[in-house]
């Protein structure tokens, strides 16, 4: 159950504000205390090497376990090293079920095998445990995506959408906690290469994670053209700015990915997966940088132009992580992969 707090920090929603379009957020079963999402990835010098790896057969076999995740989705991109990378996002709303899956020999024996260091590809997992008061989500009711695809959750119309500050207003813990980083600034990244080794990264308190997507698969030709001409270009520009300016933005890593199936066949959706030093760093970019203003302005202009006939579907999920419960492992990975080289990095 999501805790309800007596608000200390005032809502940022303007008095009398009505959103241009209604958006929806996830509601959890009363028994639920935390949700889990794990990003499992494989990287290689080219696409064929990645899809010939053992990763996909292993992942497919683990989906038959009783503790298997309730949702699995896939994405792919080429990283700053030019390595083709495929990432599977796995969701649970039960930490015991996630822990049981992770501990199952069919999962753990393969992942922990020394053979992972000698296959010509790199593997990583970024396994997140998120207390419910530290998450917020935003979807369209008619387009289930991410966590909202789970049969174990419901969605409800949120009153907090369509204005700067709505993200923080949707985070329950933000009512009483500013969710600041324990670090004054993003530390310099060391050139740790995971090649031939396993590394684990310990993240600081209140690291913020965002998944943010745009799906144009239901758009008619005219709305598709509008999206690709007016919104896609500022979106790509904003993602490139975050990816290339970690010191200025506090964005540790930004993956701008093509949503796809397990074999890499693309869907008409892209999404970003970003890690920020804090929610404040994410908000600072969203509220103050021209690259996000261009995205936000183009999106609002689109909603006003099409109104209820708008066919584009966007969604996002934001998690503000406690220090405890996060597992970031990189096996045979290139320097600069994910969070490798940031914070406390130890060889396993």
Across the chain, which has 348 residues, the per-10-residue mean pLDDT values are: 88 92 94 96 97 97 96 96 97 96 97 94 98 98 97 96 94 97 93 88 98 97 95 95 95 97 97 97 93 90 90 97 97 95 92
CA–CA distance, 152 with 26 (Å, rounded to integer): 10
Domain boundaries, the chain: 24-347
Do the beta carbons of residue 231 and residue 216 sit within 8 Å? Answer: no
Residue 85: predicted pLDDT? 98
Do the beta carbons of residue 76 and residue 262 sit within 8 Å? Answer: no
Is the whole model's pTM more than 0.85, yes or no?
Answer: yes
Residue 300: predicted pLDDT? 85
Residue 195: predicted pLDDT? 83
Residue 262: predicted pLDDT? 97
Nearest to 201 by CA among 297, 331, 291, 314: 331
Q: How far is CA 220 from CA 117, 223, 227, 311, 338, in A?
A: 47, 5, 11, 8, 36
């Amino acid at each position: 159950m999501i805790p309800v707090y007596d608000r200390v920090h005032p809502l940022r929603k303007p008095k009398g504000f009505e959103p241009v379009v209604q958006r929806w957020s996830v509601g959890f079963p009363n028994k639920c205390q935390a949700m889990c999402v794990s990003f499992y990835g494989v990287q290689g010098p080219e696409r064929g090497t990645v899809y010939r790896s053992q990763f996909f057969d292993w992942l497919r076999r683990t989906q038959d376990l009783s503790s298997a995740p309730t949702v699995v989705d896939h994405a792919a991109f080429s990283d700053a090293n030019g390595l083709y990378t495929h990432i599977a996002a796995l969701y649970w709303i039960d930490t015991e079920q996630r822990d049981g899956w992770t501990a199952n020999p069919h999962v753990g024996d393969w992942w922990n095998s020394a053979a992972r260091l000698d296959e010509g590809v790199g593997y990583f997992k970024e396994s997140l445990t998120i207390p419910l008061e530290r998450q917020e989500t935003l979807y369209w009711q008619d387009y289930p995506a991410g966590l909202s695809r789970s049969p174990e959750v419901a969605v409800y119309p949120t009153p907090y959408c369509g204005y700067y500050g709505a993200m923080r207003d949707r985070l329950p813990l933000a009512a009483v906690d500013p969710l600041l980083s324990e670090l004054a600034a993003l530390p310099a990244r060391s050139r740790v290469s995971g090649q031939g080794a396993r590394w684990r990264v310990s993240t600081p308190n209140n690291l913020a994670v965002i998944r943010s997507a745009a799906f144009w698969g239901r758009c008619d030709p005219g709305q598709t053209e509008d999206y690709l001409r007016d919104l896609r270009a500022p979106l790509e520009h904003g993602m490139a700015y975050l990816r290339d300016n970690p010191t200025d933005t506090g964005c540790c890593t930004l993956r701008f990915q093509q949503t796809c199936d397990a074999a890499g066949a693309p869907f008409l959706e892209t999404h970003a997966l970003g890690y920020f030093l804090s929610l404040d760093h994410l908000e600072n970019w969203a509220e103050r940088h021209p690259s996000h203003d261009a995205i936000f302005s183009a999106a609002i202009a689109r909603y006003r132009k099409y109104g209820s006939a708008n066919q584009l579907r966007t969604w996002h999920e934001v998690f503000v992580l406690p220090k405890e419960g996060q597992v970031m492992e990189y096996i045979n990975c290139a320097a600069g992969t994910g969070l490798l080289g940031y914070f406390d990095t130890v060889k396993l």
